Amino acid sequence: MKLNRRTFFKVAGTAGAVALAPASKAGATSHAEALAAGRRGVLVDTTKCIGCRACEAACAEANVLAGPAMPDDAAVFAAPRKTDTAAFTVVNQRAASPARFVKQQCMHCIEPACASACLARALDKTPTGPVVYHKDRCLGCRYCMVACPFGVPKYEYDKALPYVRKCTFCAERQAKGEAPACTSVCPSGALTFGNRNELIETARERLYAKGSSYVRHIYGENEVGGTSWMYITDIPIEKLGLPTDVGSYAYSSLTQASLAAVPFVLTLWPPLLMGIYSFSKRRNEVEARGGSAREEADHV
Amino acid sequence: MSSPTTAPAAPARSWAADKLFLGLSFWEYAKSLATPGNFVAGLIMAVGLPLMAYRFIFGLGAATNLSQTNPWGIWIGFDLLSGVALAAGGYTLATAVYIFGLEKYHAVVRPAVLTGFLGYLFAVLGLAADLGRPWNLPVPIVYSFGGPSVMFEIAWCVVLYLTVLFMEFLPPIFEWLGWPKARLWAVRMTIGLTVFGVMLSTLHQSSLGALFLMAPTKLHPLWYSPFIPAYFFISSIAAGLSMVIVESALSHRAFQSRADHHTDVDGIALGLARGASIVLFAYFFVKLQGIADGGRWAMLATPYGYWFLVEMIGFILLPSMLFAYGARHSRVALVRWTAAWTVLGIVVNRLNVSVIAMNWNVPDRYVPSFMEVWISITLVTLGVSTFRWIVNRMPVLNAHPEYPDSSSH
């Protein structure tokens, strides 16, 4: 075979692609796998929750918060409550008989909408799980609140110097090797803190065990691209009080196309506009001399 | 130019009297300010500025009706989103005149750039009122970069574009100060600044729409679309053109003694109307494509659907037709009213996206507080007053006598 320029490029290109493709693919997978292997999470088994709200109290203590009001159980479960700046987690009753309680807090998404919305990286994702808040960086634009599909970030509207407040997944305790405050006090086994991959295995075992009454869906395994906190239950998923219209894609993907256009605008606009400028400048100059641009062009 | 022999005859006026007090003495100038218009503006500010102080002392909760469900109100929807869209005349007209060489519109470039600069300036001031910690504004610019954030792109673009608009407005400032060398230097930057301004405007006008891509479950599906950055960008051009039509009509009426009477304000309005008609027509069909693409036809027959149709037909298609009719039949008054209507329509659209169709499916609805409304009105009043102050002193609507071609730069 005669090796001309064109064939050379074809061969070189194919060889290069073959040589590089598996390596880079394998590299990417192992990196993603390594990240996933280091990720921690919590499995919430709503069939085991007894509604004691020890987690709420532990959370308030660990975060030095006023915490939710603690009237008797009947009153507190009368209507669903929301997390707020003084209570990063709340337990609501979602089914009457058998009684089913659902704990709510920040989901600590694998690719959090809030962190990809934040212009100052005040909200930041740590590799092992917690979405943490660097309050010294926060401008208070509240875009995180607009972006979060779970309505988690809460704002201190009542303060002149406000911050965003939300569950921290006890990042500081985790850094010291301790479990989050809420999971460490749960007496019923409803909250299991551990390696996220292993928790998914545990959840599947329970869901598919013989005689299982669980709904065969792990909420948070794939929602918004996956969350650190995951739920299994035996009541319809729609009744958990968690949004079911959030999709299974990471929210950062929603703005990717828009942000990808930035380099094109930066590189294509200047030559295009300068080109139009030189055309129009010449046209105006020629017209000022009383000619037409077309005639001038013919003489050149 | 006065000859040396006649110069001593005229009593030398102080710099302040010459530049600031319109050639009057301080007391004469102070008396000249006592007009009904200034009285109303003063009243608005006399209430508005203390309200602004109240907001910073007692916090957003005390001054606004914002909530955990509705973190964005009219300071975002009106002051920022609408303000920036309506300030698009600066880059639109600069492009038409300096890049496309449409000399006919030269006389309105300076007022358009000034309107743009003040629009951005007061949009940023409105944003500062809305931010919980505005003194942290330099954080994303200086050391903590939220690269994947649309808001990060907007922050950078707005900071840079505010600077660009200010530099584009330097020639009239230097003419006013009487610094010919600095003026020449500033004029030479015109093309570069215009190109840079178009780049920045393309990015942030569209990105203000892209902000809402992050709220697919919260924004009503009729307004939520992957094309929303394109909607915001295209409509900003129509907003800019309409704003220039409205602003030039008002200016040439209000500043009759200042305005250049050779300027063909009517011809300019008709020409801009032709452009605005085409842009609105394109905008209508791009929006329609979003509905088709998302399969949202059935939603048009709901209350939100009716409101969407009011926006689509009443505020986009109708003005497009009226602009076309007015431009074709030289109906200047019709064109001006249509421009005002389009400006209103852009505000309606920005409020729809950020407030009215936002969180449409939850019971906790947002209605602005009295203080939010008053502070927004105060900012508009401050903007108009600043515009008047500058137009009364600097060569904006007219050419400076020493630079007869000054309005051409």
User: In chain A, which residue's Cα lies nearest the Cα of B98?
Assistant: A277
How does residue B234 score in pLDDT terms, banded at 50, 70 and 90? very high
pLDDT of residue A74: 74
The C-alpha atoms of residue A245 and residue A243 are separated, in whole angstroms, by: 6
Q: Is the pLDDT of residue A299 over 60?
A: no
Contacts for B79 with CB less than 8 Å, ≥ 6 apart? B122, B123, B126, B127, B129, B130, B376, B379
How does residue B37 score in pLDDT terms, banded at 50, 70 and 90? confident
The C-alpha atoms of residue A232 and residue B308 are separated, in whole angstroms, by: 40
Q: Delimit the domains of chain A by residue range.
A: 33-113+144-254, 261-299
Is residue B115 within 8 Å of B90, Cβ to Cβ? yes
pLDDT of residue A243: 95
Residues 271-300 of A with CB under 8 A from B: 273-274, 276-277, 280-281, 283-284
Q: By mean pLDDT, which of A252-266, A275-289, B10-24, B270-284 is the weakest?
A: B10-24
Global confidence as pTM: 0.89
**Interface predicted TM-score of the whole assembly (ipTM), two decimals:** 0.91
How does residue A272 score in pLDDT terms, banded at 50, 70 and 90? very high
| Contacting residues of A for B63, CB less than 8 Å apart | none
Strands A191-195 and A40-45 turn out to be antiparallel
Q: Delimit the domains of chain B by residue range.
A: 37-397
Host H or E run for residue B199 = helix B190-210
Q: Is the pLDDT of residue B6 over 70?
A: no
Task: Judge: B210–A147 Cβ closer than 8 Å, yes or no.
Answer: no
What confidence tens digit (pLDDT) does each residue in A50-78 have? 999 999 999 999 999 887 766 676 788 88
The answer to whether residue B21 neighbours chain A at the CB level (below 8 Å) is: no
pLDDT of residue B32: 82
pLDDT of residue A297: 56
The rounded mean pLDDT for chain B is 91
How does residue B214 score in pLDDT terms, banded at 50, 70 and 90? very high
CATH for B37-397, among 3.40.50.1220, 1.20.1630.10, 3.30.70.1560, 3.40.630.30? 1.20.1630.10
Distance from CA of A61 to the nearest CA of B (A): 23
For residues A285 and A16, which has the higher predicted lDDT (pLDDT)? A285
Distance from CA of B142 to the nearest CA of A (A): 10
Q: Rounded to the nearest 10 degrees, what angle do helices B190-210 and B228-254 cross at?
A: 130
Q: Is the pLDDT of residue B146 over 90?
A: no
| Contacting residues of B for A264, CB less than 8 Å apart | none
Distance from CA of A202 to the nearest CA of B (A): 31
Residues 103-122 of A with CB under 8 A from B: 113, 116-122
Across A1-21, average pLDDT:
49
Kindly tell me the burial class for residue A209, based on how many C-beta atoms sit within 10 Å of its own C-beta (0-12, 13-18, 19 or more).
Answer: exposed
The rounded mean pLDDT for chain A is 87
Residues 275-294 of B with CB under 8 A from A: none
- Which tokens go with B270? 């008709």
Strands A229-232 and A40-45 turn out to be parallel
Strands A229-232 and A90-95 turn out to be unpaired
User: Could you tell me which of B339, B336, B233 has the C-alpha nearest to residue B283?
Assistant: B233
As a CATH number, domain A33-113+144-254 is 3.30.70.20
Residues 44-73 of A with CB under 8 A from B: none
